[in-house]
Structure formats: C-alpha cells, structure tokens
Amino acid sequence: MTEAKGGKLTTHVLDTALGVPAAGLKIELYRLNGEARHKIREVVTNSDGRCDAPLLDGAAFETGTYELVFYAGDYLRASGQKLTEPAFLDQVPLRFGMAEEKHYHVPLLVSPFSYSTYRGS
C-alpha cells in the first residue's frame, strides 16, 4: 500500500424507513491486508448521521482494501423499529477498495429489510 496524503474517507448513514439521519449508529473501520483484518477506528454517528471527522485523512490515509461494519441492528432496535429475531439485517459489512489519492465517501442507506451504498462525493 502506498501512502496517499491527499485522500480521505468519509461516511454517513440515512434511515430510509423513517426518513431521517441514523444518529447513534456504531461503525467500525478495518484495513485488510490479504486475509488479515486490522481494526483502525470505531465511531458513532452524530445527529446528522455523519461522523464528526473523516475516518481517514492526511498521513493516516492509505490506498488499499477496507471494510466498514455498520451496526444497523443495534441502531434499528434503539430507534424503536420492530425487527424479526434474528434481525434480517444486523451488522452490515461493506468491503471496498481505494486506489487513488481522492475523497472516498461511502454512505449507507438502511431500513430493517434492505440497504444500499454507493461512492458519493
């Protein structure tokens, strides 16, 4: 992996069932190196469903393969939404690659029975 001083990684989460930002949702960030998975950070979304700072930026940003794990089930339960047991969605892992020194925005749109993501700006 090469160090990329100009890149950064951000995310946000929207609750599409309630039509609101997903506040209080735990997210873990992992860097993958072959089969090895190394936890880099753990954050909780703010009232706007965003993190207070980039997950990676500056010297901490490196190109490579990463995984975000969104604790959707915990959030959905706490928001009062009725879930099956076991929940259809609990932890939502998103594995993605960052190949350039650019801004990677990886949002999650979530509801009790679906999720989607995309590379945002």
pLDDT of residue 6: 83
5 band by pLDDT with thresholds 50, 70 and 90: low
| Interval 30-78: pLDDT, tens | 999 999 999 999 999 999 999 999 999 999 999 999 999 999 999 999 9
2: pLDDT strictly greater than 90: no
* Across 76-99, average pLDDT: 97
Q: 8-108 sits in which CATH class? A: mainly beta
**The pTM is what?**
0.94
* Across 88-103, average pLDDT: 97
Q: Are 63 and 9 in contact (CB under 8 A)?
A: no
Q: Which ranges of 2-120 would DSSP assign to H, the alpha helix?
A: 72-78
Work out the number of other CB atoms within 10 angstroms of the CB of residue 37.
13
Instruction: Give the range among 3-17, 43-57, 61-75, 105-119 with minimum mean pLDDT.
Output: 3-17
1: pLDDT strictly greater than 60: no
Q: Provide CB contacts within 8 A for 24, sequence distance 6+.
A: 44, 45, 75, 78
Question: Domain-by-domain residue ranges, the chain?
Answer: 8-108
